[in-house]
Amino acid sequence: AQSVTQPDIHITVSEGASLELRCNYSYGATPYLFWYVQSPGQGLQLLLKYFSGDTLVQGIKGFEAEFKRSQSSFNLRKPSVHWSDAAEYFCAVALVQGAQKLVFGQGTRLTINP
Amino acid sequence: DGGITQSPKYLFRKEGQNVTLSCEQNLNHDAMYWYRQDPGQGLRLIYYSQIVNDFQKGDIAEGYSVSREKKESFPLTVTSAQKNPTAFYLCASSISQGDQPQHFGDGTRLSIL
């Protein structure tokens, strides 16, 4: 079955430290890949997406993600986190473009220590 | 500024009661979606609409109904047939059916009295 896994339910990092959030998928073909962020009590915001081409994708708010076909991964990174980055992060994949086929991971909650 | 407005922010339902969640967008987007979010889980698609007067079931449509009479509006009704309605409901939109959700509302939290 097609699935998306975010292995870390909760991550805590110090302000200014680097961040990497993991996302793995199990699909036969290379899917379309997305990262969303959700602040408490709010909707989701699209951070970045990968469809094809360069495997290192730049997004908003200083985030980037790297697609690694050999590892079936699409990890999200940021060199230096800010307190405002505290939120829930969701990885999502789709085999075809179109939201009706979008599958979300369980989410990773990020806490920032001052 | 354009965006998606969901109302109310909090909603309480009595047993056997239908409730309707409102979703309005002023982005002129063709496609609209309803997702359900439960603690510790990702979003699951309830219904989506690619164009006015047309909508399709998502992965968990049982116990829910929708309508799309106007481009800007996509209300969701949680019927009494939905036995576990307590959740956070998110409405989203995209420019066309071929795009991923680009804008989300701030959600409605539904609880059972």
Give the separation between CA A65 and CA A63, rounded to whole angstroms.
7
Measured between CB atoms, which of A42, A99, A103 is closest to B94?
A99
B84 touches chain A (CB under 8 A): no
Residue A81 pLDDT class (50, 70, 90 cuts): very high
Mean pLDDT of chain B: 92
Under 8 Å between Cβ of A28 and A42: no
Q: Which residues in chain A are contacts of B40 at CB distance < 8 A?
A: 9, 106-107
What confidence score (pLDDT) does residue A99 get?
63
Taking residues B67-92, what's their average pLDDT? Answer: 95
Residue B63 pLDDT class (50, 70, 90 cuts): very high
What confidence score (pLDDT) does residue A28 get?
72
Q: How far is CA B82 from CA B40, B71, B107, in A?
A: 20, 26, 19
Residue B54 pLDDT class (50, 70, 90 cuts): very high
Q: Which residue of B has its CA nearest to A97?
A: B98
Residue B29 pLDDT class (50, 70, 90 cuts): very high
Nearest CA to CA, how far is B97 from chain A (Å)?
6
Angle (nearest 5°) at CA B52 between A50 and B78 = 85
- Chains A & B: contacts with CB separation below 8 Å: 72
Q: Quote the tokens at residue B53.
A: 């007067």
Measured between CB atoms, which of B42, B97, B107 is closest to A106?
B42
B43 touches chain A (CB under 8 A): yes
- CB neighbour list of residue B111: distance below 8 Å, 6 or more residues apart: B10, B11, B12, B13, B86
Mean pLDDT of chain A: 92
Taking residues A87-107, what's their average pLDDT? Answer: 85
Q: How far is CA A98 from the centre of its chain?
A: 18
Residue B53 pLDDT class (50, 70, 90 cuts): very high
Interface test with B, best of A44, A46, A57 (most B CBs within 10 A): A44
What confidence score (pLDDT) does residue B43 get?
92
Taking residues A19-27, what's their average pLDDT? Answer: 94
Taking residues B60-88, what's their average pLDDT? Answer: 95
Q: How far is CA B68 from CA B17, B19, B36, B87, in A?
A: 22, 17, 18, 22
Taking residues A74-85, what's their average pLDDT? Answer: 97
If DSSP states are collapsed to H, E and C, what string results for chain A? CCEEECCCCEEEEECCCCEEECCEEECCCCCEEEEEEECCCCCEEEEEEECCCCCEEECHHHCEEEEEHHHCEEEEEECCCCHHHCEEEEEEEECCCCHHHEEECCCEEEEEEC
Give the separation between CA A1 and CA A13, rounded to whole angstroms.
33
Residue B28 has pLDDT above 80, yes or no: yes
* Eight-class DSSP state of B52: T
Write out residues 59-98 of A within 8 Å (CB-CB) of B.
Answer: 90, 92, 94, 97-98
Q: Which residue of A has its CA nearest to B90?
A: A43
B39 touches chain A (CB under 8 A): no
A53 touches chain B (CB under 8 A): no
